[in-house]
Amino acid sequence: MTRDDPDTATRLVEAGLRILDEDGAAGLTLRRIAARAGVSHAAPAHHFAGLPGLTAAIATRGFHMFHAELAALDRAAHPDPFDWLARIEEAYLDFAESHPDLFRLMFSAPLPDDPDLQRAVLATHRIHISACEAVTGPDRVEQILMAVWALTHGYAMLRLTAPQRRFPATVTPYRTMLALLVAPERA
């Protein structure tokens, strides 16, 4: 991304976010984003070298939003480690449900190797590492982290792919499944 006009770049990203919210990923075209941002149709290519770069910038913004929501769940406010982990993972689920098309873009779209995006992903990942480590200790954090992420992300995707059905009352609640995974004595 060129940095000669950050206002235009910001407007393009914001326009892309609004289009995602309204029409999903199918609505993301350079011309449509430019029109929504009120700039020339050449601006996205100039600022982001095309749709892949702009898509990476939108995903990066999404990860910043996601990080802010998770970071707001301050560890000091949740002295019980399992409760802190559960609240973080429930915030993950809430983010996916509140921003379904952005969430899909962040986790499913082929995105270019972008350093800003990688930093944003890593910052979010560190919150999950800290929360898992608080529950399991440092010796098992790698294994538990992957298991928790698989459970949470899988649960989020199931909710997104069948939102009209939701989960029937007989399905085990998410927090109970998380407890079975990391703190069986709480299940």
**Digit-coded pLDDT (tens) for 69-101:** 999 998 778 789 999 999 999 999 999 999 999
In 3D space, the residue among 121, 122, 126, 135 whose CA is nearest the CA of residue 86 turns out to be 135
Maximum CA pair distance of the chain?
59
Question: pLDDT at position 151, please?
Answer: 96
Work out the average pLDDT over 108-112: 77
Question: pLDDT at position 1, please?
Answer: 41
**Digit-coded pLDDT (tens) for 124-135:** 999 999 999 999
Residues whose CB is less than 8 angstroms from the CB of residue 101 and which lie 6 or more positions away in sequence, other chains included? 20, 21, 24, 25
Please tell me the least confidently modeled range out of 82-96, 121-135, 138-152, 172-186: 172-186
Domains in the chain (CATH in brackets) are 1-49 (1.10.10.60), 60-186 (1.10.357.10)
Total Cβ atoms within 10 A of residue 159: 17
Evaluate if pTM is beyond 0.85: yes
Burial degree of 7 (CB within 10 A; 0-12, 13-18, 19+): exposed
Q: Is residue 167 over pLDDT 80?
A: no
